[in-house]
Every structure is written in structure tokens, then in C-alpha cells.
Amino acid sequence: MLPDLRGRPAPRQPGEERIHGTTIAVGEAGILLRGASGAGKSLLALAIIALAGQAGRFGRLVADDRTALAARGDRLIARPVPPLEGIVERRGLGLTPEPATPAAVVRLVVDLIGEEPPRMPEPEELVDNLCGIDLPRLRVTGRAGDERLVLAALDLFTGHG
């Protein structure tokens, strides 16, 4: 059973920033997916989780649609915004339960831009700063197949490839 989402979200924690984005965990690494409403963040998140599982890797939802971010030392911690824990939007079905993990250290930011990204991005396009922490950044179209590129980028940027 899903929680009643008609109320106000829980109050912010000190030092917390809330953004429109979906976060997942693959292994010990968090991936923050950003994009316009309807860009396919939830769909891409579920595709990455499925692909990770097929490869024998841990993959779980952290937060869908709204993510709470907080810097802790040199790490960016992502958590769901209550009461949205363990819920993902599936287009055509609405809000549905999804196994989730309570937090992840963000290691990669992925922007769904709805168009082809440059073949050879400039170095400054490969980094974003969130809450004072520089993180590797990847831009994708938001189409089927992006999940493979995201996992390859995660492995490249975290040294697991």
C-alpha cells in the first residue's frame, strides 16, 4: 500500500537541498538523474537497475522525482524526500512500490537532455558542482539504450571498468 501523498513533504534537514531528480544506487555508487518533467528519468532509472541486476550487480532505487542532497565532507549524500520512499512513477500505471535503499553517495550526475549530446564534450561539460562537490557528469538523450552508456560511464569514473 502506498502512503498518503496529499500532505506536505517532511521538513528539510539542516544543510539539505532538494532537487527535481531521480537517484539510484548501483553497487556502492549513487547515480543522480536530472531532466525536465516527462524526460524519462524514472524509466531510465528502472532500466539501469534491471541491467545492473542482469550483470549480477546491486541496483536499487534511492529516490524518484524528488531527491534530498547534503554534503558530508567530500561526499554528496542522496536520500528520498519523505513520504516518497520506495515509490516510483511508471508511466501508464502511476505511482508504484519499488524496492529501495535509504541513501547513496552520488558518484555520477546524468542529465537527460532530449537531444544528441556532443560526440566530444568539452572538459567543463563533464563536471558539475552540487552542494560544493564536483562530480562527473554525463549527458544522454533519454532514449532506450542510454542505460548501457550510464553504466559504462559509472565504471569509467569510479575506476571499476
Q: How far is CA 62 from each of CA 78, 83, 126, 159, rounded to the nearest angstrom?
A: 7, 13, 23, 22
Taking each helix axis from N to C terminus, what angle separates 146-158 and 41-54, rounded to the nearest 10 degrees?
A: 70
Domain covering 17-158: architecture: 3-Layer(aba) Sandwich (3.40)
What count of other Cβ atoms lies within 10 Å of the Cβ of residue 151?
22
CA distance 47 to 105: 20
Domain positions in the chain are 17-158
CA atoms of 3 and 82, how far apart (whole Å)? 10
Q: Above pLDDT 90, what percent of the chain?
A: 81
Q: Provide the pLDDT confidence category of residue 22 given band limits of 50, 70 and 90.
A: very high
The confidence score (pLDDT) of residue 16 equals 86
Q: Grid coordinates standing for 140? A: 544522454
Place of cell 549530446: 117
**Single pTM value for the model:** 0.91
Instruction: State the average pLDDT over residues 111-118.
Output: 94
Provide the pLDDT confidence category of residue 64 given band limits of 50, 70 and 90: very high
